[in-house]
Structure 1
């Protein structure tokens, strides 16, 4: 199987790597984090100018019709640069719902704003009782005329405090843990009855807890009573994107750590000359390559037609990513010593982001159980 990038994909990689190398050093990131939204609108505009926000959308919708490999390239680059901007929440998640389930009218209203960078989105799915189960939904949606009325609470909505609109899962019928009776709705963030409480997360991003009280919305995205397959497909694509971002984070963590032990001296010599530390660095490299190969596998698996095969394959990738992230993150901190635990050293920020990725849309134990229950990856 040929894993080489095409000429167009290589050009994309060079483009996004160059953009982020010029605009996203560690000190600049601190400034972006201090902005009101918690990320830089100037950088977001540059991403739009280079066409990165329109990559996965079809040409008919104004995009470039790119696939999973292109998203992998972008997410790896964003991981290496420790990017704060809401690419996952807006392009991967919200964009995924629009691409796979929205009507032409809904696409016409929302896609252009994503592509030109004028609108950002949040995915309001997590509830206090749901843990990692996408079908555990207590937020209700009751029919009213041609539209719906939403009531409920959602937690840790990435980009939720600054998003212009929210993609919300809500129960249209049945019991709280039924796998049927779930719909997906687009809610303007400033709609009457929407209350948001924003806060920073451990990795420097921002999220919000959101309450919906009698919020009136229009038609659902897709089938309002059978939205779970759509949700699972889009979340699987988000997991694949997170795997790619984690590879970028681990790659940069390893490079930063190796550079550090080459220059940090103890007993008059660089600590990188100690064989025990060389062995640790070699083990980190092996863990990185294991994660990279599984990220590539997950990218291919995202196109599988069989939903169960796709989900199991991506779960297996998330398991390896979680294991590699923990190992590389811990070793990076230990090899840096005490400075690795300070806010001034970027290596700790990489480990924080890796730790958050490990728990997003299912941690390692959760996905290992899914793979086991499925009988392994075929």
Structure 2
């Protein structure tokens, strides 16, 4: 694994950070007034929506590491756009299926797509089935992508969101969620591209997990930075609260947990394109298990450092916690990941 970033990657990280830094909320009230379309256009114009598009020889334009950089930036900024849902998860499904035209529309930002998850948000929906189903990260999308088992194999299908889905209230205030309880009529589904192989699905899951982890790392890093800055400025009993050992320990433990999660995520992001699919998925599961295990603790610690104001709706701290909690559940929390890791390590399956 190459631990150092190239000059191009450093530039990419800087650009993603600049866009995210001007596109996210300063306080929860901003979520109702932010120009989300402007943020999406900025990402598209910078080429950040096209990282998983394929070039002429079928190689992704951007690596898993580069996707993770952008995901971390959008997570750090709490940017309320469907980068994970559309530019990563849906884009990768379409690219693996060879649906070049549909993938190109997502890459250019002229269309958006979400993904359809099962009732626990733990996996991509396999149709047919009874549901419930959740369209996740679907802001601005008119359809979500799911999988359909056919006689030809596993196919990517477009599930229209216009009928049968109702808006759902989720913990995450920065992403759009919709729910459907009724079975989905197969006649409404549109097959896209070619059948996917088991290797394709494994590679997709590895990338998706790594990207969710990167978003979580961004959420935690940004939250910890805000808490440390606050601890340096907030004065109690005539001194900054950061001079109190208890507050120092809280911040230090949150920082260490976050950086450990970042290390596991960086390896998982590199593994997406560098290792065999099964090894890449194992690395991604390991990263997700760690990120999911510390996300709530870290972000709730940040709320404690902010004190009483950090417990109010008007403060940004709980928006970090809400996004981290939802990320924890998407594609499986630490318990689900550890069980799958145990299956691989103990039984070889």
TM-score (norm 1): 0.82
How far is 1:161 from its partner? Answer: 6.7
How far is 1:164 from its partner? Answer: 2.6
Residue 112 of structure 2 aligns with which residue?
120
Higher relative contact order (CA 8 A, sep 6+): 2
How far is 1:217 from its partner? Answer: 4.1
Which of 40, 48, 52 is the matching residue for 2:44?
Answer: 48
Q: Report the CA distance shift for 1:218/1:61 in structure 2 as closer, same or farther (over 3 A).
A: farther
Residue 149 of structure 1 aligns with which residue?
none
How far is 1:325 from its partner? Answer: 1.4
How far is 1:214 from its partner? Answer: 4.6
Are residue 107 (structure 1) and residue 105 (structure 2) matched? no
Are residue 343 (structure 1) and residue 313 (structure 2) matched? yes
Classify the secondary structure of the residue corresponding to 2:273.
coil
Residue 155 of structure 2 aligns with which residue?
183
Classify the secondary structure of the residue corresponding to 2:185.
strand
Which of 112, 122, 128 is the matching residue for 1:132?
Answer: 122
Classify the secondary structure of the residue corresponding to 1:222.
strand
| Per-residue CA distance 1:41-69 (angstroms, 9 max, x = gap) | 12111111111111221234999811111
- 1:123–1:158 contact (8 Å) kept in structure 2: yes
Q: Report the CA distance shift for 1:114/1:107 in structure 2 as closer, same or farther (over 3 A).
A: same
Are residue 85 (structure 1) and residue 55 (structure 2) matched? no
Task: Give unmatched runs, 5+ long, in structure 2.
Answer: none
Classify the secondary structure of the residue corresponding to 1:344.
coil
Residue 295 of structure 1 aligns with which residue?
265
CA–CA separation in structure 1 for the residues paired with 2:12 and 2:123: 35
CA–CA separation in structure 1 for the residues paired with 2:20 and 2:275: 34
How far is 1:232 from its partner? Answer: 3.6
Written as runs of structure 1 = structure 2, the 5 A alignment for 1:1-378 is 2-27=2-27, 30-31=29-30, 33-34=31-32, 40-60=36-56, 65-102=61-98, 106-108=99-101, 110-126=102-118, 128=119, 132=122, 137=126, 139=128, 153-160=131-138, 162-172=140-150, 182-189=154-161, 194-204=163-173, 205-210=175-180, 212-223=184-195, 229-375=199-345
Q: Report the CA distance shift for 1:353/1:133 in structure 2 as closer, same or farther (over 3 A).
A: closer
How far is 1:39 from its partner? Answer: 7.1
How far is 1:113 from its partner? Answer: 1.6
Classify the secondary structure of the residue corresponding to 1:76.
helix
Q: Report the CA distance shift for 1:317/1:195 in structure 2 as closer, same or farther (over 3 A).
A: same
Classify the secondary structure of the residue corresponding to 1:327.
helix
- 1:77–1:245 contact (8 Å) kept in structure 2: yes
Q: Report the CA distance shift for 1:161/1:196 in structure 2 as closer, same or farther (over 3 A).
A: farther
How far is 1:153 from its partner? Answer: 4.2
CA–CA separation in structure 2 for the residues paired with 1:161 and 1:154: 20
| Per-residue CA distance 1:224-244 (angstroms, 9 max, x = gap) | xx6655334323211100111
Classify the secondary structure of the residue corresponding to 2:134.
strand
Larger Rg computed on CA atoms: 1
| Per-residue CA distance 1:25-84 (angstroms, 9 max, x = gap) | 414x744x336xx97112111111111111221234999811111111101111110011
CA–CA separation in structure 2 for the residues paired with 1:239 and 1:257: 27
TM-score (norm 2): 0.88
CA–CA separation in structure 1 for the residues paired with 2:248 and 2:272: 36
Cα RMSD of the aligned pairs, angstroms, is 2.8
- 1:55–1:65 contact (8 Å) kept in structure 2: yes
Q: Report the CA distance shift for 1:280/1:208 in structure 2 as closer, same or farther (over 3 A).
A: same
| Per-residue CA distance 1:298-342 (angstroms, 9 max, x = gap) | 112212553332222211111111223133112112222222121
| Per-residue CA distance 1:116-168 (angstroms, 9 max, x = gap) | 21111011131x4x77365x84526xxxxxxxxxxx54522113474133212
How far is 1:23 from its partner? Answer: 3.4
- 1:125–1:169 contact (8 Å) kept in structure 2: no
